[in-house]
Amino acid sequence: MLRLLLASGIMASALSAVPPQPEARAEAPIGAARAVHGTGQQTGGRTSQDGTGANQDDGKGDDKDGADNVLTVAVSQSVDSLSPFLAQRLVSTSVHRLIYEYLTNYDPGDARPVPGLATSWSPSPDKLTWTYTIRRDSAWSDGRPVTAEDAAWTFSKMMKDPNAATANGSFTANFAEVSAPDPATLVIRLKKPQANMTALDVPIVPKHIWEKVGDFSTFNNDTEFPIVGNGPFVLTDFKVDRYIRLKPNKDFWRGAPKFDELVFRYYKDGDAAVAALRKGEVSFVPNLTPAQASSLENAENIKVNDAPGRRFFALAANPGARAKNGGRFGSGHPALLDPVVRKALFHAVDRRTIVDKVFQGHAVEGEGYIPPRFAPYFWKPDASQRIAHDPAKAAALLDAAGYRKNGSGKRTDKDGRPLDFRILCHATDPNDKAVGKYLQEWWGDLGIGLKVDCLDNVSDPWLKGDYDLAFDGWSVNPDPDFVLSIHTCAALPATPGGTGATDNFICDERFDRLYAQQAMEYDTARRGDLVRQMQSRLYDTGLMNVMVYPNALEAYRTDQIESITTMPEAAGNLYGQDGYWSWWSAEPAAAGRAASGGGGSSAAVAIGIGISVVLVIAVGVLTSRRRRATADDRE
């Protein structure tokens, strides 16, 4: 996510009804986090997303921005679905945060749960029944009141229809019953305690609209506009790989956004997006390369934001694609089923070189699965466990396991077949390509071949299991439950060819046991310890190797955006936040305000959780990405 130094006031009175809650929650994208192939919502979602077919704006016809005061954001990731029941990519889940309220939100200062659609919540003494008070000052954009029945219907639909649980089913898998005894009261009864009940990253949808939907597996919510929602924005138009248009919700309970229109416009080529920023054709560009960021540092009317991110950049090994019914599919290389081979490959990876040469210092070396930004859950291996850069050890491991070099210098398996692997690479992500070249060199020295398959659409081969390795990444949420759930056996597709929430077909009994334990643990310290044990287990399997935690590198025009809230405020990101703070808080520069007559109500900013948007005063260069396509695939 993105960052700038801001200040915000949190009104104690707005939070007084909220009981102490366990720290929690991973996009989204944007998100599951959700994930990086091309699915995954969450807010905690995957890192990269497909930018398939993204077009530059031609300034003609329905591509032309219609409002005088427009905040235009350049994106490269394709929308996988506008249905919050299906969407997993960061761009999609970020849009859902703008058009639908969740029960709770995250404070932009410290990411603690704060009121969203629910004004307060409380558990029963046994933690098996949670009662939420639904605000009475929220209305759907078609004028109908929002009630607890909308929330109850949303969750119940996910419980009863597997297709409606595609993106966010992990949140409701433990629900026994959901009811709305009156318009302002939502009651969720659990089968067993569930630690993320203040971090249910599920968009609440209008029952009167969605109960008309037949097949939730195919309905993408992209046929009728404007889309009925109750968030700070209303989605008014959408063209695949061209643009997403949103207008302020003038009746939003926190107050209307200040810009007349928010547009996400597609640029498949990052340099074209940067050129558009320079010319003032777009207001904001995320996911900059270090070279692009450097070229903008001294550009007139442009601010570069460089801060620790919520994403990780990893290597994922295909563990053998499988379904819950035991069916095997895909074409993963059988040698990667051997943990010795995976460990040897990762011993040959030089993380320091990736940080210095690929990210040019705008990242930190990877350790565990959860980025250091989320301190309660961050983990790093000790010296004896760490798979450090050691090419000699990699070669020795392979030799000892019977993978020796032949007369041509090619490493072969026990049947004499050469070890030649494929790695899925996002064509729109220069980091994938650059790291791919290093891997070819490092693994080539071991006698192992590597074909770097850079595709516009990596989702299809990924879902089919037709890969050996892949560049992976997710945006992690303050509560890590979702980004952990995608590596459980329950996330596998039901049958070969089906769609599950799995990131990489991982199914490990020990990991699952720990997941079940942390999911029920309300004590923050004990839960943190369980989450660290999960990361340790995932690390030891060698199926996920986190190489770096990239900074959020992004830039915006100061002659279009006067101030904007980062998350966290002290040094955070703007794009792909765990909330809607950036685009909701954005203040137009003086010229834009004059053109629009001032936009929304400034007084409204002081209500709700009491965020006072303050002028961004510094962008520090701090050195401390639901499925895949570009660097912001999953949320």
Domain boundary assignment for the chain: 70-308+553-590, 311-550
Q: Which helix (H) or strand (E) holds 545?
A: strand 544-557
CB 118 within 8 A of CB 134: yes
Residue 554, C-beta contacts closer than 8 angstroms, at least 6 positions apart: 2, 284, 285, 286, 287, 288, 304, 305, 573, 574, 575
Other CB atoms within a 10 A radius of the CB of residue 594 amount to 12
CA distance linking residue 508 with residue 30, whole number of Å: 27
What confidence tens digit (pLDDT) does each residue in 294-335 have?
999 999 999 999 999 999 999 999 999 999 999 999 999 999
E strands present in 401-543: 420-426, 449-455, 469-472
411: DSSP letter: B
Q: What is the pLDDT of residue 499?
A: 80
3-class DSSP state for residue 132? strand
CB 91 within 8 A of CB 165: no
Let me know if domain 70-308+553-590 sits in CATH 1.20.1060.10. Answer: no
Nearest to 459 by CA among 139, 98, 80, 130: 80
Ramachandran region of residue 61, left (φ > 0), alpha (ψ -120 to 50) or beta?
left
User: pLDDT under 50 in the chain at which residues?
Assistant: 1-61, 595-635
What confidence tens digit (pLDDT) does each residue in 108-122 have?
999 999 999 999 999
Q: Can you read off the two tokens belonging to residue 127?
A: 């933690």
Q: Which helix (H) or strand (E) holds 120?
A: strand 118-123
Residue 91, C-beta contacts closer than 8 angstroms, at least 6 positions apart: 29, 30, 49, 75, 77, 78, 79, 244, 264, 632
Other CB atoms within a 10 A radius of the CB of residue 211 amount to 10
Torsions phi, psi of 309, nearest 5? -100, 175
Whole-prediction pTM: 0.80
Right CATH for 311-550 from 3.10.105.10, 3.30.1510.10, 3.30.67.10, 3.40.50.300? 3.10.105.10
Give the residue carrying structure tokens 């080539």.
444
CA distance linking residue 234 with residue 67, whole number of Å: 14
Ramachandran region of residue 416, left (φ > 0), alpha (ψ -120 to 50) or beta?
left
Q: What is the pLDDT of residue 506?
A: 97
What confidence tens digit (pLDDT) does each residue in 494-539 have?
999 888 889 999 999 999 999 999 999 999 999 999 999 999 999 9
Residues in the chain: 635
Nearest to 586 by CA among 303, 215, 222, 370: 303
